[in-house]
Amino acid sequence: MQLQESSPSTHLPLLKPISPDAGYADYLTELTHEFPLSVSQFGVVLVSALELRDRKNGHDAKSKALEEAAPAWEPSIDSPHFQCSLPVPNAAGKNVFTTIDVTVAGHANTLYARCEHSLMQTAASATTASASSDDGTAENHCSLEATADNFTKVLESDVVIQGHQNNVVAVMNEILDHPVAKNKPPGQDDDVLQFFYCLNEIWMPALKTFGKLSDGNRCLKHIITEEQLLKNDPEIRRRCRELEEAEGLVLGPMVESDVPLMIELNGVKYDEEYGRFIIKRSVCFRNKKGEMVAWAGSHGDFSVAALHVLPEHRKSGLGRLILHSLAMMHIKLAREILDTRGDDAEPISTKTLVAHADCMDYNLATIMFMERCGWHRIGYYLWIGVDRSLKD
C-alpha cells in the first residue's frame, strides 16, 4: 500500500497517513487479514469509503429520497487514516514489531493494534489455561473475562507486552494532539473528547495514563460471518414475506421523524444529531399505520446500533429479522467497496468477511439473543473518552 511520506503530527513523528488515492479498498482488504479483532477499524474506514464514493458518483434515486427524508450529519470523507510500525525488543533482544492502525475522524475514532490477538493469548496462557481459539474467538464468557483481566496482571512482568503498551500510549498521544481530534464529535460535551469507538479492553492501562476517563461503555463484541448470513438468508426473506402478507409489516429504512422514538427507547442515549447519523443506514418494520415496531441502525464503526423491538411484537421474531437484514446490508456495502479492486484482486472468503455488534456487558438478555441468532463473541471493548482539560 502506498503511504504518504509526510505526517501532519503535532507531537511525535509516528503516524503515516494512508492516502485515499492509494485505494480504500486495498486498505480494507489488508484489515480483513486481521479479522475479527479489526472489525471496528474496518467499519470506520468503510464509512469514509462510502462517503467518498457517494460524493464522486452521486447518490442513486433511493439514496436521494432517503437523504431528503432524513438530512443527516455528514462525516468528513477526508478523515485521516494512519498506520505506523513500532519495534519492541523481546527477552532475547530481538525486535518484535507492532503495526497500529488509527482513524481520526469527526464521526468515529478508533485504534487497532495488530498484535492484539497474540498479546491476549500470551497474557491468558501466562495465568490461566483458558485461551482464545485459533481464529480469535473464544469459547465462553469466562475465558474472555480472564483474558482481559490477565493482560493487566502480566503487563508488569512481560517485557514484550510492556513495550507494546508503551507504543500504544505514544500513538494515543498523537491522536490527542492531532488537529482533527480537536473537533468536538456530535453529541459530546465540550470538555470531553470521546476519541475511541470499540477499543480493545486490554489497552485500558494505556488509557489511564491520560488522567480522568469519561464515563464510557464496556461492551461484549459479537460477529457473524457472511457465510452464515447467506445460509440463513432464504429463510429470513421467506419470513419477511409472510409477515407482510399476514400482518402488513413492511421492512424498509428509518427516516428522520423516527429519531426521537429511537433515542427515547434506547438504553444508551444519543443526541438527535448522532441519531440522524445512525438511521442513515438502517432497517425497520412498520405496521399498516406506518408506525415503527422494530428497528436498528448503524454506528460510526458500522456496528449494529439501537436494536429494539416494541414489547407487543417480541414474540414474532422481528428482532432476528432486523438483525439479519442490517447485517446483510453491511456485508453488501463492504463488498461493493471491496469489489472495486477488480476481478484479479485477492478474493475474500465468505468465511472471512463479518458483520459486528456490541452488547453492553451487563445486558445478558441481549447477549443471549445475539448468540441464539448465531453471532459469536470475540472479546470486551470500550467506548470511552478522556478529559480534554487534563491533556491540554
Say whether both 20 and 123 belong to one domain. yes
Q: Give the chain's length.
A: 392
Helix or strand run (H / E) with residue 289: none
Say whether both 103 and 88 belong to one domain. yes
Structural domain boundaries, residue 290: 223-381
Residue 262 · residue 308 · CB < 8 Å: yes
Number of folded domains in the chain? 2
Say whether both 318 and 358 belong to one domain. yes
What single letter denotes the amino acid at residue 112? Y
Say whether both 302 and 330 belong to one domain. yes
CATH number of the domain enclosing 353 = 3.40.630.30
Say whether both 121 and 248 belong to one domain. no
- Residue holding cell 467497496? 337
Q: Is 199 a domain residue?
A: yes
Q: Is 68 a domain residue?
A: yes
Say whether both 231 and 207 belong to one domain. no
What is the C-alpha to C-alpha distance for residues 374 and 17, in angstroms, rounded to an integer? 37
Report pTM: 0.84
Say whether both 151 and 230 belong to one domain. no
Residue after which a domain boundary falls, among 219, 241, 269:
219
What single letter denotes the amino acid at residue 258? D
Q: Is 116 a domain residue?
A: yes
Q: Is 391 a domain residue?
A: no
What is the C-alpha to C-alpha distance for residues 61 and 64, in angstroms, rounded to an integer? 5
Q: Is 11 a domain residue?
A: no
- Report pLDDT digits (tens) over 276-335: 999 999 999 999 999 999 999 999 899 999 999 999 999 899 999 999 999 999 999 999
Q: Is 278 a domain residue?
A: yes
What nine digits make up the cell of 162? Answer: 510492556
Say whether both 185 and 244 belong to one domain. no
Per-residue pLDDT tens listing for the chain (392 residues):
222 333 333 444 567 777 665 688 999 999 999 999 999 999 989 988 888 888 777 654 444 444 444 434 344 445 678 888 888 888 888 898 888 998 876 666 788 999 888 888 777 777 654 344 444 444 444 456 656 677 778 877 888 888 888 888 888 877 777 766 666 555 555 555 556 778 888 888 777 777 667 667 889 999 999 999 999 999 999 999 999 999 999 999 999 999 999 999 998 888 888 899 999 999 999 999 999 999 999 998 999 999 999 999 998 999 999 999 999 999 999 999 999 998 889 899 999 999 999 999 999 999 999 999 999 998 889 887 766 555 54
DSSP letter for 382, please. E
- Residue holding cell 419470513? 239
Strand-pairing partners, residue 383, are: 217
What single letter denotes the amino acid at residue 169? V
Q: Which residues of 359-387 are buried (b: 16+ CB within 10 A; e: fewer)?
A: bebeeeebbebbeebbbbbbbbbbbbbbe
Helix or strand run (H / E) with residue 137: none
What is the C-alpha to C-alpha distance for residues 38 and 120, in angstroms, rounded to an integer? 14
Helix, strand and coil in the chain, % to nearest 5? 45, 20, 30
What nine digits make up the cell of 221? Answer: 463484541
Neighbours of 10 (CB within 10 A): 11
Say whether both 144 and 108 belong to one domain. yes
Say whether both 159 and 280 belong to one domain. no
What nine digits make up the cell of 21? Answer: 488515492
Say whether both 128 and 81 belong to one domain. yes
Say whether both 203 and 273 belong to one domain. no
Residue 176 half-sphere exposure toward CB, CA atoms < 13 A:
20
Contacts of 20 (CB under 8 A, 6+ apart): 48, 52, 77, 78
